[in-house]
Structure 1
Amino acid sequence: MREYLKFYIDGRWVDPVETRTLDVDNPATEQVCGRIALGGAADVDKAVRAARTAFGTWAQSTREERLELLGSIAGEYQKRAADLADAVNEEMGAPPSLAAGPQVSLGLGHLATATDVLKNFAFEEQLGSTLVVKEPVGVCGLITPWNWPINQIACKVFPALATGNTMVLKPSEVAPYSAQIFTEILDAAGVPAGVYNLVYGDGPGVGAALSSHPDIDMVSFTGSTRAGVDVARNAAPTVKRVTQELGGKSPNIVLDDADFAKSVAAGTSVMMMNSGQSCNAPSRMLVPNSRMDEAIAVARETAAAVKVGDPADKTAIGPVASKAQFDKIQGLLQKGIDEGATLVVGGTGRPDGIETGYYVKPTVFANVTNDMTIAREEIFGPVLCILGYDDLDQAVEIGNDTEYGLAGYVSGADLEQARAVARRIRAGSVAINHGFDMSAPFGGYKRSGNGREWGQFGFDEYLETKAALGYTPA
């Protein structure tokens, strides 16, 4: 039983101002596996004061000092990689292959990327007689979700540190264990007191206090579009910077070419990863109407081969993260059936032979139309919707017919055609044949958010731009 009942403020583990706790469930067992302290506005005040005090010194730190710190963090991170994996396994129910693999390695990848960017990042640029300087934005409020907990913490904390900011982190109360280990890593690495602070809590208690706090200079939020709207509203009176990475309903346009079956299988497999709990998941697969039956056969075979709840199998998926998420998915599965989509495989209820845990059947719907609820709403589970198109113009039109714009996918053997289609998709990132690059900017159009994370583009969100006119006499 884990008990994390203190917050990390000003370089020390401290008691909450008011004693309140929250039980944390293991979604694989549905049993309480730990408790965390729940913070409030008074705890946020303490953390923000510490961050504000530390900002004056850390903002003036040199590139070399920041690189040295990031190097120390890398060493400590590698020492605790197994502990991080155990935490993710317990808080999310992620199978060990996923927890110890992508979940942990993505955090280290963001650390390595931030280090590489920092080495050569141009914080100053001479434009004629004007010196343009990029300076740290100040005290940052970082609010992260439960679906890729280490990834989302790392892609905010490391760029913020590298650019000279101080911060207060509120991780998800659903999956808080990995944040505890992450904080212990930073403490062991010697992060200066007050530069990094951690306060556990929920959205109303800590998230709202961070986003509305007058001494927070920017908020970086990852989560649902609904919660992102609340963050923006809370931040508006103080006119602070707000960056948001929100929901998605990403199209995957499968081209009519020789790689069709391969593309359908790959898209189905990627959709099932992390039990479908990825905001950029390729949840709407668009295939030619003339090949719908072939797509159904390939997707059925691929999804049926996905093992559920078998921690010894690297292809297995775990449960979804909570009862609330499980219930939401079940409702949307039934909605898909009621609205007339073809249930290819999966459906409501737990997988056969599993009676405990928030496990969802790997599900494929076909003959989905873009006005159906399952094509409009983010399901956030292992559920693929297959839609048909007559030509590529219609495919692009359907793909863009969504309030979201986080990601898109194009799959096929014809690279030139894939490139042309990718340019027409209205989304922050478009992956051709599921390409992946940790240096690429990540963020969305429309209701999928504002701003970008990852690589050098993530640095820009944590910097103000100052013009020193007449710096060099004409």
Structure 2
Amino acid sequence: MQDARNFYINGKWVAPRDGRDMPVRNPSTEEVIATISLGGQADTDAAVAAAKAAFPVWAATSREARVAAMERLMEAYKTRAEETAQAISAEMGAPVTLARTAQVGAGAGHLKTTIRALKAFEFERSLGDHAPGDVILHEPIGVCALITPWNWPMNQVMLKVAPALAVGCTMVLKPSELSPLSAMLLAEMIDAAGFPPGVFNLVNGDGAGVGSLLSAHPDIDVVSFTGSTRAGVAITKAAADTVKRVSLELGGKGANIIFADADDKAVMRGVRHCFNNSGQSCNAPTRMLVERPLYDQAVATAQTVAEKTEVGPAEIEGRQIGPVVSETQFNKIQYLIKKGIDEGATLVAGGMGRPDGLKRGHFVRPTVFADVTPEMTIWHEEIFGPVLSITPFDSEEEAIRLANGTPYGLTNYIQTADKARARRVARQLRSGMVEMNGKLGGAGSPFGGMKQSGNGREGGVWGLEEFLEVKAVSDWE
């Protein structure tokens, strides 16, 4: 069992000052694989103080120096990719094949994209020809609190850490206490890359502890949080007294609108996307809206895909889906599956309990409900498991109304051969992102939502801007 109690503060691994032990469990086996410490006030204050002291020097470094440091970090990340994949697989249950490709690959991709955006970003710009001598400066905002979730650990950590480092901010990272080991590896990589002491700091903790302390801390200038809408609301309230900036990437309840002229693989693609990462993705297409002529066929296809979806331990190579992250998450999903049954949705595949043959671990049966209506709990509540809800529609207008009929607005999906209709519908969907016909957004595309899915944008140029202040200066020339 790994002893991972120490924190990374001011360039050194240090023992907690007022921490308390917490086990990290492998969700495939339910066994303890590491012990971390949940930090307290003294640990949080020490990390923030280190970041505050390091800020003036790091903020004043040249773009070239920061690019060089980021490129050293990329090399360190590449050399430890397998170790990171194994850590992610063990701590949160991503099958090791998925951990190597999508989970670790996402971190590398975001780091690469950030470096490219940094090289091209204009930190100093003219206001315009109408105001000669006026300049707009983009400057690092200061000390950042970065609070990240467990479902895509390195993806979300790198979406925050990389741009904050790139623009000259200093930071305190609080990764999820359920998936801290991969973040601690990143701290080792940052140390190896030679970033100055205090620029990056890591303190483990839970939301009620370190998360709340960072959100309210007077020396924190911005909180960047990814997680549940409930926690995002709490962070915003805690940050209000010090009027710090808060950037939120929260929950989702994505609608996948499948018109009758969609390609033959649209339904299968949508089901697999919903089940990917065991359904633990905020942008998952968990509500499948199907045009009436295709509905019965779509339900049958979804049933077949669900029944053929393999579920198994994360350490096994292959394309199976793994467990969900914890007993708490497992129990929540079971409760919502029962809600779907009790409220009258048609259970097409899966259901409650573990899949056959799995006697331990937090494994959920890939589940499909048909005939789901907007009054049902599973229509509007984020389940965060491999559970798909299918609903018919009769017109384009109805599809748009159904898609927009939740408090969330992160990612919606459109499947149709009619390009004009696809564009028309995309403009009317109230979400920060729309994916059409199975085509993923390009590298550096902004990630974020509307409504209760949050208010920030991550990735590419937009990711840099989240950590910059805008300063207007006259008579510059």
In structure 1, the residue matched to 2:268 is 265
d(CA) in 2 for partners of 1:124, 1:390? 52
In structure 1, the residue matched to 2:474 is 469
Q: Secondary structure in 1 aligned to 2:168? A: coil
In structure 1, the residue matched to 2:220 is 216
Residue pairs, 1:337-348, within 5 angstroms: 337-348=341-352
Q: Secondary structure in 2 aligned to 1:145? A: coil
CA contact (8 A) 2:38 2:204 kept: yes
2:259 is matched with which residue: 237, 255, 260? 255
Q: CA deviation at 1:34?
A: 1.1
d(CA) in 1 for partners of 2:470, 2:90? 42
Q: Which amino acid aligns with 2:50?
A: A
How many residues align? The count is 471
In structure 2, the residue matched to 1:379 is 383
- Alignment partner of 1:17 is 2:17: yes
Q: CA deviation at 1:239?
A: 0.1
- Alignment partner of 1:327 is 2:331: yes
d(CA) in 1 for partners of 2:120, 2:26? 43
CA contact (8 A) 1:441 1:452 kept: yes
CA contact (8 A) 2:260 2:293 kept: no
Q: Secondary structure in 2 aligned to 1:161? A: helix
CA contact (8 A) 1:307 1:313 kept: no
- Alignment partner of 1:307 is 2:310: yes
Q: Secondary structure in 1 aligned to 2:351? A: coil
In structure 2, the residue matched to 1:85 is 85
d(CA) in 1 for partners of 2:94, 2:445? 26
In structure 1, the residue matched to 2:208 is 204
CA contact (8 A) 1:300 1:344 kept: yes
Q: Secondary structure in 2 aligned to 1:211? A: helix
Q: CA deviation at 1:422?
A: 1.2
CA contact (8 A) 1:16 1:37 kept: yes
In structure 2, the residue matched to 1:370 is 374
In structure 1, the residue matched to 2:68 is 68
Q: Which amino acid aligns with 1:121?
A: F
- Alignment partner of 1:146 is 2:150: yes
d(CA) in 1 for partners of 2:165, 2:328? 34
CA contact (8 A) 2:154 2:183 kept: yes
CA contact (8 A) 2:412 2:433 kept: yes
In structure 1, the residue matched to 2:188 is 184
1:290-315 superposed Cα distances (whole Å, 9 cap, x missing partner): 32211111111111111100554532
In structure 2, the residue matched to 1:442 is 447
d(CA) in 2 for partners of 1:249, 1:26? 27
1:236 is matched with which residue: 240, 259, 269? 240
CA contact (8 A) 1:285 1:387 kept: yes
In structure 2, the residue matched to 1:97 is 97
Q: Secondary structure in 2 aligned to 1:449? A: coil
1:132-186 superposed Cα distances (whole Å, 9 cap, x missing partner): 0000000000000000000000000000001100000000001111111111111
In structure 1, the residue matched to 2:31 is 31
d(CA) in 1 for partners of 2:294, 2:473? 61
1:297-348 superposed Cα distances (whole Å, 9 cap, x missing partner): 1111111111100554532100000000000000000000011111110010
d(CA) in 1 for partners of 2:207, 2:464? 26
CA contact (8 A) 1:419 1:432 kept: no
Q: CA deviation at 1:19?
A: 4.2
Q: CA deviation at 1:204?
A: 1.3
d(CA) in 2 for partners of 1:258, 1:289? 13
Aligned residues: CA RMSD: 1.0
CA contact (8 A) 1:370 1:387 kept: no
CA contact (8 A) 1:272 1:383 kept: yes
Q: Tell me, which stretches of 5 or more residues in structure 1 are unaligned?
A: none
d(CA) in 1 for partners of 2:189, 2:233? 32
Structure 1 runs, 4 residues or longer, greater than 6 Å off: none
d(CA) in 2 for partners of 1:45, 1:121? 33
d(CA) in 1 for partners of 2:233, 2:215? 11
Q: CA deviation at 1:2?
A: 1.4
1:236-288 superposed Cα distances (whole Å, 9 cap, x missing partner): 000000000000001110111051x4111110010010000000100011001
- Alignment partner of 1:124 is 2:129: no
Normalized against structure 2, the TM-score is what?
A: 0.97
CA contact (8 A) 2:223 2:245 kept: yes
d(CA) in 1 for partners of 2:438, 2:159? 20
Q: CA deviation at 1:289?
A: 2.3
Q: Secondary structure in 2 aligned to 1:450? A: coil
Residue pairs, 1:391-410, within 5 angstroms: 391-410=395-414
In structure 1, the residue matched to 2:293 is 290
d(CA) in 2 for partners of 1:20, 1:355? 31
CA contact (8 A) 1:143 1:171 kept: yes
Q: Secondary structure in 2 aligned to 1:132? A: strand
In structure 2, the residue matched to 1:8 is 8
d(CA) in 2 for partners of 1:160, 1:143? 13
Q: Structure 1 stretch 333-342 or stretch 432-441: which is displaced more?
A: 432-441
d(CA) in 2 for partners of 1:422, 1:313? 38
1:458 is matched with which residue: 437, 449, 463? 463
Q: CA deviation at 1:378?
A: 0.0
